[in-house]
Chain A
């Protein structure tokens, strides 16, 4: 099962065996326990819930404590469900980075960094106005559309709160999986701040490519 939960450690660059020097995000992932198995018959859909991270007993809410007790597993701090690549997974089983190998493709989901109330340039990549030559429009959103409409068009891009959104980066390459230290090295950036929870799941896009389907 190529799904796991982890903590974003930060970024660096590493040399690969074929001599490339690639930027990577280091994720401290697992070991995770399978805390629940949901089935089509009982819950209406198939999924596996993974638990990650230690938590003090007294910090577990009663509701969650009940869930953990029912399944007979130790409580964990984070619990997330997965619906991909979950065949032959049973409750109580441990998932480590050992199920990943270099070259695997994954999607990484995190909560993006908060930017507060951001303007159009940062939030929507507006190009902004001229800096000088008497230009009086610098970082303003400028025109907001038709004045005759008498209303604001829905969904128009404006300044506002930016960040802290659930963000998925798809089809990222696993550069290395370090079983001893529970580390996953994923090529390129990953959403979220350092120390934040990240969800690593088998890539949905590349798993559906003809070559990948044939191999499985």
Chain B
């Protein structure tokens, strides 16, 4: 294995839950606020899951106070402490860009009844 592969492997987290687009997740990330570090939770639907290796990232969408908010997290970043997977959504595409055009009931995602384990 070459040096770059080793470096990349070191950056990666070994323990990560399997998740995919449409799933509802809680992302716990460290943020610095007023000189102090604390953990912030962001809950929403995974709309985009892209990249592989160290640069793997997810975009999480939630509607807060009537405003759609999307946040992108680098999954392997040391700033992202934990990712919890909640509901599994039944969706038919990998990138849910259409969600941003929908409001309210139209923006719902059906829940998967039987969940096949997502591979990591």
Within 8 Å CB of A9, what residues of B?
2-4
Of the listed stretches B40-48, B58-66, B72-80, B85-93, chain A binds B72-80
- Does A181 make an interface contact (CB < 8 A)? yes
Smallest beta-carbon distance B4→chain A, Å: 5
Interface residues of B in 10-33 (CB under 8 A from A): 11, 30
A-B contact count (CB 8 A): 35
The distance in angstroms between the C-alpha atoms of A19 and B3, with both chains bound, is 22
Kindly supply a per-residue 1/0 record for chain A positions 126-147, scoring 1 wherever the CB is within 8 Å of any chain B CB and 0 otherwise. Answer: 0000000000000000000000
Judging by beta carbons under 8 Å apart, are A19 and B4 in contact? no
Contact B7 A19 (CB under 8 A): no
| Docked pose: A135 CA to B77 CA in angstroms | 49
Instruction: Note all chain A residues with C-beta closer than 8 A to B8.
Output: 12
Residue of A nearest to B7 (CB): A12
Q: How far is the CA of A204 from the CA of B55 in the complex (A)?
A: 33
- Would B77 and A183 count as touching, CB distance under 8 A? no
Q: How many residues of B contact A (CB 8 A)?
A: 14
The one of B4, B77, B78, B79 in contact with A10, judged by C-beta atoms closer than 8 angstroms, is: B4
Known: A14-B11, A21-B74. A26 touches B4 (CB 8 A): yes
- B77 near A26 with CB under 8 A, answer no
Q: A12-B54, A21-B55 are in contact. Are A26 and B78 (CB under 8 A)?
A: no
Report B75 CB to chain A, min CB distance, Å.
11
Residues of chain A within 8 A of B30, CB atoms compared: 19
Complex: how many Å from CA A120 to CA B4? Answer: 35
Give Cα A15–Cα B53 distance, bound, in whole angstroms: 13
In chain A, residues 15-29, which have Cβ atoms closer than 8 Å to a Cβ of chain B? 15, 19, 21, 26, 28
State how many angstroms separate the Cβ of B101 from the closest Cβ of chain A: 30
Q: Which chain B residues lie closer than 8 Å to A99 at the CB level?
A: none
Check if A181 sits within 8 Å of B55, measured CB to CB.
no
Contacts A12-B8, A15-B11, A21-B55 given; indicate if A183 touches B3 (C-beta within 8 A): yes
Chain B min CB distance to A19 (Å): 4
Q: How far is it, in angstroms, between the C-alpha of A181 and the C-alpha of B5 when the chains are bound?
A: 14
- CB contacts (< 8 Å) of B74 on chain A: these are 15, 21
Closest-by-CB residue of B relative to A17 is: B78
Nearest CB in chain A: distance from B57 CB, A: 9
- Across-interface contacts of A183 in B (CB, < 8 A): 3, 7
Quick one: closest B residue to A10, CB to CB?
A: B4
Some 13 contacts from A to B, beta carbons below 8 A apart, are A9-B3, A12-B4, A14-B7, A14-B54, A15-B54, A15-B77, A15-B78, A19-B78, A21-B55, A21-B74, A26-B4, A26-B7, A28-B3
Sorted nearest first, the 5 A-B pairs with minimum C-beta distance are A19-B79, A12-B4, A10-B4, A9-B3, A15-B78
Apart from A15-B76, A28-B3: 8 A-B pairs, beta carbons within 8 A: A9-B2, A9-B3, A12-B4, A13-B55, A14-B11, A15-B11, A15-B78, A19-B30
